[in-house]
Amino acid sequence: MIDVKTKTVAADGAGITEAARILKAGGLAAFPTETVYGLGADATQGEAVAAIFAAKGRPLFNPLIVHVTGLEDARAHVEFSPRAQALAERFWPGPLTLVLPRRKDSPLSLLVSAGLDTVAMRAPSHPAALALLKTAGVPVAGPSANRSGQVTATTAAHVKDGLDGKVDLILDAGGTTLGIEYTVIGFDGDRPLLLRPGAIARDEIEDMIGPLGAPGGMIRSPGQLASHYAPQAALRLNAAAAEPGEALLGFGAVAGAALNLSPRGDLKEAAANLFAMLRDLDKKAQRIAVSPIPASGIGEAINDRLNRAAAPR
């Protein structure tokens, strides 16, 4: 952790070389993925991983996810069942995280797993994230680059808002395209569980491997805490219209919206806009009302984030 202002650099060759050098030296570098910005550290260095928890103000019982270049890299750290391997082959690189049994000989810091015997692995498809992983040559622990419990960062400026002075470097590749976090799949034996709805819709996965179960009480992870992704403003969901004193975050053809997630009612566009628009309205209003969002496709993930953002704190 450093106490000078954080530097933001373009995610070009020079930027990626510098970020890789920082990671290998045990520092923290924020980087873009196709979903949201991540707060990266070398996942094999315990002190670097500990610095992530400190920078985010994240409770130590919440495990981190680890970014790798693909299936071959991931095999050094976790065991793939045939089903898990099929999912990785189909969706990697891309916005799917698999929580799998940790190998005893994995060099990952034990802090990454926060005491669990599993590790959450993913292979991002964002070219800057992939280039960073290849250049650094280490697995990169990378939770979302925001203070714990607060609104997720989808631009380099959002990262700086929350983590200025707490991260050594921010790699800037503009706004992220998907805007909502990775889908997280775990297993109970061979039974797949949807631990967190995300950028890959439930249907796409169920079409391939059948119904996804719901997590039981044993799985502790930040995205499952009741209050998460929370703005300062109070949030009222499924609002037909704004009441006096509220700013309306619209969806579809609604009148009187201060901002609209997708005037044409496109859920992918809404997911991409969600966190940036919540941040914008949070600066202008004490109370935010949100239009109803359909639950189909990626709408499940949008509603999941909104419900947690609106939960009692």
Catalog residues that contact ligand TXA under the rule CB under 6 A.
33, 35-36, 38, 63-65, 97, 99, 113, 116, 118-120, 142-144, 181-182, 184, 186, 195-196, 219, 221-223
Q: Tokens 């959002």 belong to which residue?
A: 158
Q: Which CB atom, from 35 or from 260, has the smaller least distance to Mg ion?
A: 35
For residue 136, the partner it binds in ligand TXA, Mg ion, none, with Cβ less than 5 to 8 A by kind, is none
> Looking at beta carbons only, is 38 or 192 nearer to Mg ion?
38
- Whose Cβ is closer to Mg ion: residue 16's or residue 99's? 99
Cβ closer to ligand TXA: 135 or 224? 224
CA 306 distance to own-chain centroid = 15
- Out of Mg ion, ligand TXA, none, what residue 139 binds, judged by CB under 5 to 8 A for its kind, is none
User: Does the protein bind Mg ion through residue 33 (CB under 5 A)?
Assistant: no
Is 144 a binding residue for Mg ion by CB under 5 A? The answer is yes
> Which CA distances in Å does 112 have to 63, 97, 108, 177?
6, 15, 7, 27
Cα–Cα distance, 306 to 311 (Å, whole number):
9
Give the sign of the dihedral formed by CA 203, CA 277, CA 260, CA 288: positive
Spatial separation of the C-alpha atoms in residues 119 and 129, rounded to whole Å: 19
The entry of ligand TXA, Mg ion, none near residue 162 (CB within 5 to 8 angstroms by kind) is none
Q: In terms of CB distance, is 102 or 261 closer to ligand TXA? A: 102
Q: Which amino acid makes up residue 33?
A: T
Report how far residue 313's alpha carbon sits from residue 109's, in angstroms, rounded to the nearest whole number. 31
Identify which of 129, 138, 131, 132 has the alpha carbon closest to the alpha carbon of residue 106: 138
Can residue 176 be called a binding residue for Mg ion (CB under 5 A)? no
Query: Using CB under 5 A as the criterion, which residues of the chain lie in contact with Mg ion when the complex forms?
Result: 144
